[in-house]
Structure 1
């Protein structure tokens, strides 16, 4: 019987090829999007789910609040671990310190490794919270002595190739030329997905033998660094409210007088293990991979849901529209003894067959879509995830759900016909079924209309962001960064001199980061105007006397700094106003207090955007390199090129690199950044959203228009005799086309009316993230509405004009 069901189903699908094709295309698009987006969500949701007692593991993070705003870091003060380790709410407390050595040597085989990443200093408690499998070494006394290190299997194979884990135990590695460290353990790398990517675990007491010795000994409560991480495993009966109260008490107890005076506050809190992969406020440990974004995943899920629903709507619309054509078949089947249940199974079988065909096509298409959606696909995700049992089960459930949503209502409609009425040819179309098709069509085009409006407005905002004047020169500027281990200024100056000899270079500056970057160096300054003491946060940019020339910063009053090391400031307009000055000239010659030092203001520069346009301009100052010879804040050579055109750019870049290699001959750490690319990277997320909307808009229009085409084909086929009669009575081609188009275009217009406020609300909410934004213009809605009407009219006219052009003799011959 089941074989017979599928045989009849296949025949019916082949009999109505156009409708079947429309249904398959709609469902394939929806299922493909669902499969790929489902893979992305599953991949990101599966990070660090394998740890034992994962619900009890938390990272302690820090949030800072002040009258000027707030910011967050994933690190804590080094003093916090000792303050909470005896608290009964905690089962285990473990801090670790992230430090990247400049060099690691295995002198036994003569190998050298520069700047290895994912190195931490920690203690035995770390391995109580996170369960690593030990391949070699004594696990009874982990990392309690100085100068011990535990390596992962991968890192051990780098340092000691072709050596078994047990033979590596006891061997020595030399860190930063002088620190001899003994390997005491080898652990297996996590097989499952994890954000804990650390490869070397050096015993915490070893920090006392490094440049960080004073920090470790002092454990200053007012010194918070992202490198200092703290994890806790709370007890099974822990009171989280009590833990937070203890954190708050400690923060208040150790708050310094200046923080109290100026309304600044530090708050410690628990971040759950499951939140680390998604919370961009605190970040993950491998920034090169990027971080999952919950809001983006939600948007992706909504896109997949809408596309799938659009495909299901096409199925419902076309199948209910065809109901009258299959009425006689149903009447005869009932006469021959078929029950309604059997008929429902028959029609659900047809639906399931279409869904299976669509699913097979979707799986084949998904491999290509993973590449197409590479901006959204995490780095480690691959097509092989389709073999995962959870994914297979999810696909089966999804296919059954789509089959039910698409096929159950049409099956009920098809099997409801009365046998006697059908055989007497009394099969009038129910008013409710017509209304349902209209509602579903309006819903389809409302979704498509929302996507069109959102695409135009998001694209307009991104154009505004990228074209807005940043307040400094951004074109034809490159920054070459010195090697990370380079602490002296002399080689940077030699390199700068070599670059000045290149004729294609217009200007050179030795300094810190460019005016706009992701790096932040900030402090607090105080100005006393004789009556009031004014406190202000202040961000620094570091540069020599040519810095303002290279970036063409506008000096409104005074001058730039006199030389690299003199202690003086060039503040921006925002800082000027914050300190109480009305005019730039008023600030010149005044002094501010910075770390108990009196620093003069020698210039005021025009405001410029230090970050993306999501944030306001902050108080900022240009300063020199004050801490020589102990260390230098100058880490880059900024180069302004003579020409902004791409002609000759490659040869100029080659000369810049050659000059670098001649100065830093032993370094392979050549890093160059284009300033305009850095600014574009501020808006990576927005550009991803824009590309997602482009795809969603195109696919939703395609599905909706295909469904509309199917309904138009059905309607014109039903009204073919009416069209013939109207032509015989003298109706023109335009009148007939207008008659047939009017009903559908009204539905599209209604969809526009519904979609406009929804799109306006959504985009208004999205724009709240930006301090500077474009206006939501009326013309955008008008253009999107006309565009949708045009698409619909084009699709409708394809069939209606064909029907209106037909010879009426052919349609009326049977009369």
Structure 2
């Protein structure tokens, strides 16, 4: 019986090759897209789950409000980890990580700057799952000047893996002994490290300070312990340990501090939530966004629904062609259940073929998907373990659901009605098909609107006046490698043809180098009269080189000695300080400690606000001081021969340093800040095109069938004098009417959801009416183009061919 079902199904599918091809292609595209998104979402949700104790590990975060300033940190105080372990029985272990920022390692005659370098407590191996290939985890990071490296790093520097006991030579010819080699940390980790340096290699003279935050602190809870109960004890815990230092430094009690409206808090975030739910100051890497996981998951479901809708639409549209077959089968004694089984078999076969093709498409397009999604997803044996069962389940579920209605619809025909020709045919009267077409195009129009909004926002980000000019700025990284020659290097670069100016500092709007300090309006530690700004060390050429604008006062000058005790602030800092005319006003910076002293700084200028973080955030206050910082050298260039200038700059560098020459352009660094949004825009556009293509496949099939069913009507109309445009319009208007309905349904939904997305940006475009109008026009044009081929083909057909049998 089953063999007969399959044979008959193949015969029917072969007989209707066009409809079969459209069904298979539509389902295959839908399934392939859905599978790619499943890979993406699974990858995003898998971060840090490689840790055996992932469900018991938490990171401690910190929130600080001082006056009107609010800051959220992913880092905490130096003594926190040890104190938590000692004071709370529910805490099994703790570990601290500290971002080193980079470490130079010698390989032959070359100094290589390794960015993935972290200081770590010895307990890191008891908290995180970092399999050791060689060495002893109990002693690996207990001694100063010891380091644990990854397997790939060992191969990179020694061409072998067992390198325990070898030395790595770093800055200043300092030797670090390799005590262990671990497996490479998985890509799905919120932190990455090729070098784990013992924390004891970093003597911290301020290790007992409770008002300083610079360690990423992780807690391993005991089995069964509730981290929320621990979190609830943090307020009293902080009061106990930081209250004394707060009294010494701010000259006020903890109660008085909170009474002023300020606060000092801690909370805990599960390790597995960090990647998608945390973007705070002091993160160890660039995290993702939960919002995009939801968006792409919804798109996957929508596209799969569109593909299934196509199947149902085309299957029911062919009902008239199958009606006589059903009638004859019933007259010959075929039971309804066998007819249902027959039609479901056809649905299963189509789905099976589509699933196989979709897997092939995924394999072919996965490298391209990885490239624009910035992923490294690969299909492994582990992937096949779940992919094959899921694919078979998809065949059963999708095949059954997509073929369920057509099967019951077709098998319900009464033989007498069929054989008398009473079964209606054609596009008209197909309410379900009309509903499904509206559903498909509602999703497609929503995706078109979403794509337009995202690209409009990205264009705004790229073209907005940021308060500085990022174009034609060459950034030479790690200028501190030049040592005492950094200033000489800057002056020599300024003399090169094509160089307009240069500034020596690591504090750039497009870098992640940040620093904060507390300033007061008076020489008293009063939180109400305080400001907690970004505090950047710059030189006298900073403002000019970056094309910033002075709103009031003047810039720094190396000819005025008093400028060493002066500051230039941004407009936001002036507002926070409450100064209407801040120039020549005095602000104070505390030295900290039990008996703080206050150094006075004169505000000599106000620079117009400039964006130095994501446009999702408001501009924070910035205070710039005239101090030496040799992080980077930024060069304003004005030449068409960039490659020639780069060669000259590199030659100058090599004449003063043996370190590796690294550079970038500021506009490229700026683009990296919005790489997530750019990837989202690209993925959104690709999936939108696929959704529209799948919907158009179904519309094309329906238009072909509608034209086929109305062949005799068209012939009669032509005989009676109807023109080709009249007939084409007649065939098209029913579909266009449905597209208009789809526009009306999808537009308000798209408007609401995209407004919610835009609200994540502090600086954003307005949602203009023309976006909906453009999406609607695009949908109508797409539908017209899809339908027009079949409409014109039917309209120009010779009526003799369709009427000869009458």
Scaled by the length of structure 2, the TM-score of the pair is: 0.89
Please tell me whether residue 393 in structure 1 is matched to residue 394 in structure 2: no
8 A contact 2:69–2:531 mirrored in 1: no
Of 752-761 and 322-331, deviating more is 322-331
Superposition map of 1:91-170 within 5 A: 91-99=92-100, 102-103=103-104, 114-116=112-114, 118-137=116-135, 143-146=141-144, 149-157=147-155, 161-162=159-160, 165=162
* Alpha-carbon spacing, 1:132–1:787, altered in 2? closer, same or farther (3 Å): closer
In the aligned structure 1, how far is the partner of 2:765 from the partner of 2:570? 25
2:306 alignment partner, one of 297, 304, 310: 310
Structure 1: runs of 5+ lacking an equivalent: 626-631
**1:710 corresponding residue in structure 2:** 701
Further displaced range: 421-430 or 190-199 = 190-199
Q: Deviations over 1:703-742 (max 9, x none)?
A: 2222112112111211111122222223333332332222
Asked whether the 8 Å contact 2:73–2:282 carries over to 1, the reply is no
**What residue is the counterpart of 1:454 in the other structure?**
450
Question: Whole-Å Cα distance in 1 between the matches of residues 69 and 679 of structure 2?
Answer: 28
Matches within 5 A, 1:245-324: 245-253=232-240, 254-255=242-243, 256-257=246-247, 258=250, 260=258, 263-282=261-280, 287=285, 291-324=287-320
Residues 100 and 115 in structure 1, CA contact (< 8 A), matched pair in contact too: no
Residue 427 of structure 1 corresponds to: 423
Shift of the alpha carbon at 1:285?
7.9
1:59–1:273 contact (8 Å) kept in structure 2: yes
Residue aligning to 2:217: 230
- Could you tell me which residue of structure 1 aligns to residue 399 of structure 2? 403
Q: Corresponding residue for 1:628?
A: none
- Residue number among 438, 441, 453 corresponding to 1:442 in the alignment: 438
The answer for the alignment partner of 1:667 in structure 2 is 659
Q: Does the 8 Å CA contact 1:123/1:142 hold for their aligned counterparts? A: no
Deviations 1:392-441 (A, max 9, x none): 22222223222122111111111111233333433236999711111111
Deviations 1:139-181 (A, max 9, x none): 6666555555555544455565557x4xx55555565557665
Counterparts of residues 305-344 of structure 1 (less than 5 Å):
305-344=301-340
Matched, 1:693 2:658: no
C-alpha separation in 2, matches of 1:788 and 1:92: 58
Q: Which residue does 2:575 correspond to in 1?
A: 577
Q: Are 2:599 and 1:606 aligned?
A: no
Is the Cα–Cα contact under 8 Å of residues 47 and 189 in structure 2 kept in the other structure? Answer: yes
Q: Which runs of 5+ in 2 are unaligned?
A: 251-256, 591-597
Q: Which residue of 2 aligns with 1:476?
A: 472
Aligned partner of residue 614 in structure 2, secondary structure: coil
Are the equivalent residues in 1 in contact too, given 2:506–2:630 (CA < 8 A)?
A: yes
1:219 to 198, 208, 218: 208
Q: Given that residues 612 and 679 in structure 1 are in contact (C-alpha distance below 8 angstroms), is that contact kept between their aligned partners in structure 2?
A: no
Q: Deviation at 1:553? A: 2.1
| 1:597 alignment partner, SS class | strand
Given that 2:67 and 2:531 are in contact with CA atoms closer than 8 Å, whether structure 1 keeps it comes out as: no
Match of 1:540 in 2: 535
Secondary structure of 1:557's aligned partner: strand
Is the contact made by 1:479 and 1:672 (CA closer than 8 Å) also made in structure 2?
yes
Q: 2:738 aligns to what?
A: 747
Q: CA deviation at 1:638?
A: 1.9
2:24: which partner in 1?
24
Deviation at 1:591, TM superposition (A): 0.6
Aligned-partner Cα distance in 2 for 1:122–1:637: 31
Residue aligning to 2:254? none
The alpha-carbon deviation at position 623 of structure 1 amounts to: 2.0
Of 340, 358, 361 in structure 1, the residue corresponding to residue 357 of structure 2 is 361
1:133 and 1:678 mapped to 2: Cα distance? Answer: 35
1:623/1:475 CA distance change after superposition, 3 Å: same
Over residues 747-792 of structure 1, what are the superposed CA-to-partner deviations in whole Å (9 max), with x where a residue is unaligned?
Answer: 1101000011011101111110122222221222222212211222
Distance 1:284 1:733 in 2: 68
**What aligned pairs does 1:624-773 form with structure 2 within 5 A after superposition?**
624-625=626-627, 632-643=628-639, 647-664=640-657, 666-668=658-660, 670-773=661-764
User: Residue by residue, what CA displacement relative to the aligned partner does 1:244-299 show, whole Å, maximum 9, x if unpaired?
Assistant: 12222223331525465764433222221212333341599874xx5443322222
Q: Secondary structure at the match of 1:362?
A: helix
Map of 2:620 onto structure 1: 618
Equivalent position of 2:414 in the other structure: 418
Provide the C-alpha distance between the structure 2 equivalents of 1:315 and 1:58, rounded to a whole number of angstroms: 47
- Counterpart position of 1:505: 499
Change (3 A) 1:433 1:235: farther
C-alpha distance 326-798 of structure 1, shift in aligned 2 (>3 A): same
Counterpart Cα distance in 2 of 1:386 and 1:451 = 33
Q: How far, CA to CA, are the matches of 1:160 and 1:641 in structure 2?
A: 40
Query: How far off its partner does 1:562 sit?
Result: 2.4
> Matched residue of 2:606: which SS?
strand
Name the residue aligned to 2:3.
3
- What does the per-residue CA deviation read over 1:624-658, in whole Å, with 9 as the maximum and x for residues that have no partner? 11xxxxxx423222211124xxx322212222222
Distance 1:101 1:797 in 2: 62
C-alpha spacing 1:45/1:548, structure 2 compared with 1 (3 Å): closer
The alpha carbon displacement at 1:539 in A equals 2.0
Q: Is the 8 A contact 1:101 1:175 kept in 2?
A: no
In the TM superposition, residue 533 of structure 1 has moved relative to its aligned partner by 6.5
> Do the aligned partners of 1:22 and 1:706 also contact (CA within 8 Å) in 2?
yes
What is the root-mean-square deviation of aligned Cα atoms in Å? 3.1
Tell me how far apart the structure 1 counterparts of residues 583 and 26 of structure 2 sit (CA, whole Å). Answer: 68
Paired with 1:283 and 1:26, the residues of 2 have a C-alpha distance of: 46
Secondary structure, aligned partner of 1:373: helix
**More deviation, 720-729/309-318:** 720-729
CA contact (8 A) 2:545 2:635 kept: yes
- After superposition, give the CA deviation of every residue in 1:211-250 in whole Å (9 maximum; x if it has no partner): x3313xx32111111xx23222212232323201222222
